[in-house]
Amino acid sequence: MLVVVVDNYDELSRDGARRVADLVRKKPDCVLGFATGGTPLGMYAELIRLHKEEGLDFSKVVTFNLDEYVGLTPSHERSYHYFMSKNLFGHINVDPRYVHIPDGAAGDVAEQCDWYEARIKQFGGIDLQILGIGANGHIAFNEPGSSLGSRTRIKTLKEKTRRNNARFFSSLEEVPKYAITMGVGTVMEAHGLLLMASGSEKADAVAATVEGPITAQYPATIVQMHRFATILIDREAGAKLQGDYSGF
Ligand code: PGA
């Protein structure tokens, strides 16, 4: 596990985008795992800039998103389909046939989850999975208590997560109660992980993830077991780390 501490959110966004862009240039048909939430927005803006100004080519890239709310159709303005289209996919030359996001409106959720897992395998696994982290230690929608070996499935969202995400909805009541999410085991099978965190509200979660005991009560701690995990954080998010990571 490599911990990289940068000064601020802008640097975090540029550094994250550079890592993704390096992979796309090296392996134009790579499989990228994307995340939603506030953290990757700056990185997505930088990837759009790299596409528009430097010709970064996504035409052969395959993408898999971590999760989607159950009950929201892809066109719903609060769905993660909509989020990705608005903040990234609508501005780069990714091929829609290669874009995968769980269908939150699927009639048969179990079948949708099995299909998602099979589809990831069909493309040879995810080369680089981008991850945010919840203040409660969740990754994707794997809330505290999630099995560390779990696969793509439906999860009930914790009240704290619903409250955090209410900022994207007009009221708390509107925030869905369930989501389809890649499992912790699914995430851990990605060949590389890039976990990003910014701001002091993530400092406890980052300290537990990097230096705490591995526990299902803090699903993000499992990334300590990954050989190719990079934890990319800004100074505020790293403020509660005990170790010195300045050498990297
Ligand atoms: P955030 O969410 O990027 O909006 O902080 C991260 C997460 O909840 O996984």
Any atom of ligand 1 within 6 Å of the Cβ of 61: no
Please say whether the beta carbons of 222 and 186 come within 8 A: no
* Model pLDDT, residue 58: 98
Please tell me the distance between residue 115's alpha carbon and the centre of ligand 1 in angstroms. 25
Question: Which residue's alpha carbon is nearest to atom 8 within ligand 1?
Answer: 134
Q: Is the dihedral of CA 164, 165, 166, 170 positive or negative?
A: positive
Q: How confident is the model over 152-183, as pLDDT tens digits?
A: 999 999 998 999 999 989 999 999 999 999 99
C-beta of residue 88 within 8 angstroms of C-beta of residue 49: no
The per-residue pLDDT for range 65-108, each reduced to its tens digit, is 999 999 999 999 999 999 999 999 999 999 999 999 999 999 99
Annotated catalytic residue 51? no
Residue 138 catalytic?
Answer: yes
**Total residues belonging to the chain:** 248
Residues 216 and 112: their CA atoms lie apart, in Å, by: 25
What spacing in Å lies between the alpha carbon of 68 and ligand 1's midpoint?
Answer: 13
**Core vs surface per residue 23-52: b (16+ CB within 10 A) or e:** bbeeeeebbbbbbbbebbebbbbbbbebbe
pLDDT of residue 246: 76
Average pLDDT of the residues of the chain:
96
Residue with tokens 């890592």: 19
The one catalytic residue among 143, 164, 165, 226: 143
* Cβ contact 72:174 at 8 Å: no
